[in-house]
Structure 1
Amino acid sequence: MKKLFSRVVVIAIVLALSFGSIYIAAAPKSFKDVKAGSWYKQYVDEISAKGIIEGYPNGNFGPNDKLQVDQLLAMMVNANKAQTTKTASDKYWADPFIRKATELGWVKTGEFKTYKKAITRGEIAMIIARAMTDYPDNLQDYKSLIKDFNSIDASLREYVLKVYAKGIVGGNPDGTFKANNNATRAEAATMLVMYLEPTKRTEPPIVIGETQQVINGFKTGIVGKTSSLAWIEGEDRKVMGEQYPYIQISVAMYNLEDRSKDLEDREKQFVEAREILTQKIDAKVVDAAIAYAKTKVDFHDHLDKDFVGSGYCLSVFSGNIDDTVTFSVYDAKYAK
């Protein structure tokens, strides 16, 4: 499981659902209208199993129904396990959740004329972004990936960039964000899972000018233009399945004996790989991994070892008939 598991980067989308009674579930509830094979089933199952929301009394989930503001706030409060308290002045079921969300700074008093209205994608971005603290330094670079960015309300643009850059709320197939569109309950379920579980996100790679790209926060050169490496890619969990660890980045370098030019560039590749990896991994860990990688002197040599540090695991892999050495970064909990 140490080799990169695919070579694709996918943009993920969106969040979850209804409220009557909130309960803690050990297993996902079976909803009559959430069919096996539907794109949203895994996300609905997950938030149901976490006890974040329950479906309608008739046994349906309503995946295509519009999500209301009050429903999202209740989901966010439950997802963050924030304690609520009922008061004598509470008029309807969502008052404790609205009060808690306001206390936490996720919404501001008077920001919504009614919490019973359908929530937009831009408003979801605002609420989730306010609940987060970790964002890329180069947020403005992501504007170029959102085709309708300039049409987004100016008060929401920064929030949209934050959730988009973190892979929590993705764009549409046509490259637009459509911040004014109402979110469905199925979309909301997906967003909430991405918010709760960073390892399930795939942050969109961006190209800056002609010389640099950013993949999951790692600034790199562009293979074939400015990079001598074999490839630099993020990992697509959807291809290999949820049982595989999500890889932040995979950096591979050529290592075939009969590729004379590649061998001449080998030290250059090691330098470039080090520059990329030390952006998030401790230099001592990276240097130890590179020293191990250099022990492959013949393409029949097999490499498979993990180096752990700073919450990340750096895996070095090369098959015994392999023309590359691959460095893959993922969460330390997946280390051997």
Structure 2
Amino acid sequence: MKKYSLVVLIATVFIMLFSVPAAANQTDYMVGDFTDIEDHWAYDQMSELIAMGILKGYTETVYDRELGNTRVQVVRPDQNVTRAEFAALLYQALNLKPEGETAPFSDKIPSWAADAVNALFKAGIVKGNPDGSFKAGNNISRAEIATMLVQALNDRSRQTGKAFRDVPSWHWAYDNIQKASAVGIINGMPDGKFVPGRSAKRGEVMVMLYRFMLDDQTMAPDNSELLSYTDNMLKAMEASINSTGPVNLSTVSRYVTGEQEAIVADSQAALNDLKQNGTVSYKVNYPGTVISKSDRLAELVYDTVSTFKTATTNLEQRSKEHYYLMKIGDRWYIYSNMDDRML
């Protein structure tokens, strides 16, 4: 292998494995695969949900002058969201399981959304309409989203939030909108309105869903629990990379999900290419530090040192690595990581 291509490979592997966003929510797509979100105001929240494996998007065929017809992945952030689509997103975010019982709605639920609607009904998160229907194909309103997210909160306390001038106290969703505002799920519009009856766009939905996951904090875990999961993953990473034999990241895979699972899987062959041409090492300074945590999400930071040495090359990367975790069932998984230089 030529020296210049080694340097490129080293940089690529270190960046891919230790410095970029990254079981249960494995995703087929990376954040960078989506072509319509980079300049959108909700990019940060959409990219987090993509990395978690919750937001899948759509595949479209577009024409490229050089490549011809090309398949690309899109989110369509300015498209409306139906009640069935939001139910499917919330079902995924809550990691609910299919229920044997069928929700007693009078209208038909699409088969692709049936598990989600049945589970959300069983959990008391969706109740349907006064006429007994669910209206799966109707666009979901901002008030309906606020209501469903509040019903899904672990925090059951009554709280008073911002007074929106278009949400009077007699509005059917007043209490839920107040609670959603107090928790931080919604902020409203610059003019002081909430516009409760307006159909929600996909970008708006992703922002509210991410804030819901971030701000529900009544059952946040002890720091020791988060550190234990992350320490175990990093120790497995150290042991595999620093071993005298080939790198085998199967011991790491059980700790990761979403985009990070795909990154780990793609990195093994590249790391083994490096080991055939020099010495690779990875060192973590324990303990890490818990930066933030909620019932469903957490951020931790560790100091790490990655090195690659040959007779003519000595590369070292010192980083403060931020690891982003999500709770799936009763376990925590790393879905993304990024170093200080990229924040």
Q: TM-score range by the shorter chain?
A: 0.3 to 0.5
More helix by share: 2
More strand by share: 2
TM-score by length of 2: 0.47
